[in-house]
Amino acid sequence: MNKKSKVIIGLLAIAVVLFCAIQFWIIPANRAKETEYARSRTDALTHDISVIETYRTPYIGNASNTGGLFEVLPLNHISKKFEINSDNCTLTVNYLDTVWNIGEEKVQRDLVYNSVAAMAAIDNLTGITYNFSGNSYSFTRKQIENVFGTPLSNLLKQENWSEEVQNKLKDMDFVGQFFK
């Protein structure tokens, strides 16, 4: 076996090891992390609130900002349309699905979560209405502030958010008070 053949065998062994490590270990691990992160973004209890920082605004009028905000909040995988009422600073989100399809418990928890997050991010948002096929839920700023305190923007630090919002939302009795 000449020197070149030995170099070929050595390089081939390195290439095969590298390829297998990347293809069967590193890439699947990265994909699992991405899937986990994507899953966490659709769950109120594991959602990373820091992602809404870029959507903070004093006024509700900016439709693309509002659309962007709801794209990084739970229920972002459901198709939806927005109506903004600039006169009384309210927002209507029309989800193109049914509560039954998504799951009632998840919908209730995620809607409370999204309402707190949207009102904390948009300072003059006074109320939100969520419409599903056959169901409708409304939240006012006063109702949210009575439970979570004022100003809501104080909650946006991750440690406050986990303690004051996500931990409380684990309790379905707590969530249920918004749907009585």
Query: In the complex, what is the shortest distance from the CB of residue 116 to other proteins, in angstroms, rounded to a whole number?
Result: 30
For residue 76, give both structure tokens. Answer: 């972002």
Does residue 96 interact with other proteins by CB under 8 A? Answer: no
What is the rounded distance in angstroms from the CA atom of residue 43 to the CA atom of residue 145? 22
Q: Could you tell me which stretch among 19-27, 32-40, 84-92, 111-119 binds other proteins (CB under 8 A)?
A: 19-27
One residue of 12, 29, 32, 63 binding other proteins per CB under 8 A = 12
Q: Is there a contact between 63 and 84 (Cβ–Cβ < 8 Å)?
A: yes
For residue 34, give both structure tokens. Answer: 């991405």
Nearest to other proteins of 13, 96 (CB atom): 13
Does residue 7 interact with other proteins by CB under 8 A? Answer: yes
Q: Could you tell me which stretch among 20-28, 49-57, 91-99, 113-121 binds other proteins (CB under 8 A)?
A: 20-28
Q: Whose CA is closest to 94, among 72, 70, 64, 124?
A: 70
Does residue 17 interact with other proteins by CB under 8 A? Answer: no
Does residue 18 interact with other proteins by CB under 8 A? Answer: yes
Does residue 8 interact with other proteins by CB under 8 A? Answer: yes
Across the chain, the runs of DSSP E, i.e. the strands, are 80-85, 90-95, 127-132, 135-140
Contacts of 58 (CB under 8 A, 6+ apart): 122, 123, 124
Burial of residue 134 (number of CB atoms within 10 Å: 0-12, 13-18, 19+): exposed
Does residue 20 interact with other proteins by CB under 8 A? Answer: no
Residues in contact with other proteins, total (CB under 8 A)? 14
**Residues of this chain that bind other proteins (CB under 8 A):** 4-5, 7-8, 11-12, 14-15, 18-19, 22-23, 27, 30
